[in-house]
Structures are given as C-alpha cells and as structure tokens.
Amino acid sequence: MSPLTLYSILVIAIVFEVLGTSALQAAQHFSRFWPTVMVVVCYGIAFFCLSYTLRAIPVGIAYAIWSGLGIVLVSLVGFVVFRQTLDLPAILGLGLIIAGVLVLNLFSKSTFH
C-alpha cells in the first residue's frame, strides 16, 4: 500500500478521533443517547483506521501523529465551537506538539516515506 494511502487513512482516523472526542462534550457523561452513540461510532472508526495504518507505519510514529494532531485539533474545536479559551502557554505547547509531529515526519528515518 502506498504511503499516501496509509497517511490518508491516518488522517481519517484523526478526524474521527476529533469528532468522537468533541462529542464527549455533548454526551454529558454518557447521559445523552445520540451524542453517546456518536462517541462510540467515531472512536470505533478511528481505532479501526489507526490499526490499519499499523501495517506499515511503526506504532510509536502512528500514535504520535494521531494523538498529537488530535490534541491540537480538539483544542481548536474547543476554542471555536465550545468557546474554551487558550492562554499563551497552551498555545505554545500546541505549537511544540505540531513541531514534534513535523520533525517526526520530515526528519525521522522511522517513518514510512
């Protein structure tokens, strides 16, 4: 399978992880039915897609990309959708996460190119 295809599947995993995590806010401790269903379905798709990428991408690299970009995107969803604030240390930390993902993908020989 081509690297582009595997990374595309990893992006799908990230998108569904972000959707599932965002739905946790609406699920209100799993007391609301449809948001809870959305959490379960989105996480199921996310983990399935993540597991599929592990055929060629090392687990540590795939998980670092998945969780790192997921953290950044969930923070952005929290900021935009839920009006949660991000202070300067949070923004700097998110920048460091993005920098770490870029270093992994651009310079590491452990990644799948």
Q: Is residue 37 part of a domain?
A: yes
Q: Is residue 113 part of a domain?
A: no
Write out pLDDT tens, residues 12-45. Answer: 999 999 999 999 989 999 999 999 999 999 999 9
pLDDT class of 1 with cuts at 50, 70, 90: confident
Q: Is residue 21 part of a domain?
A: yes
pLDDT class of 77 with cuts at 50, 70, 90: very high
Q: Which pTM value belongs to this model?
A: 0.90
- Whole-number Å distance between alpha carbons of 20 and 48: 13
If one counts the domains in the chain, the total is: 1
Which residue reads 């996460």 in tokens?
97
Domain that holds residue 17: 3-107
**Two tokens, residue 82:** 């839920």
pLDDT at 113: 57
Q: Is residue 46 part of a domain?
A: yes
Least confident of 27-36, 57-66, 86-95, 103-112: 103-112
Q: Is residue 112 part of a domain?
A: no
- Whole-number Å distance between alpha carbons of 36 and 95: 31
Q: Is residue 84 part of a domain?
A: yes
pLDDT class of 3 with cuts at 50, 70, 90: confident
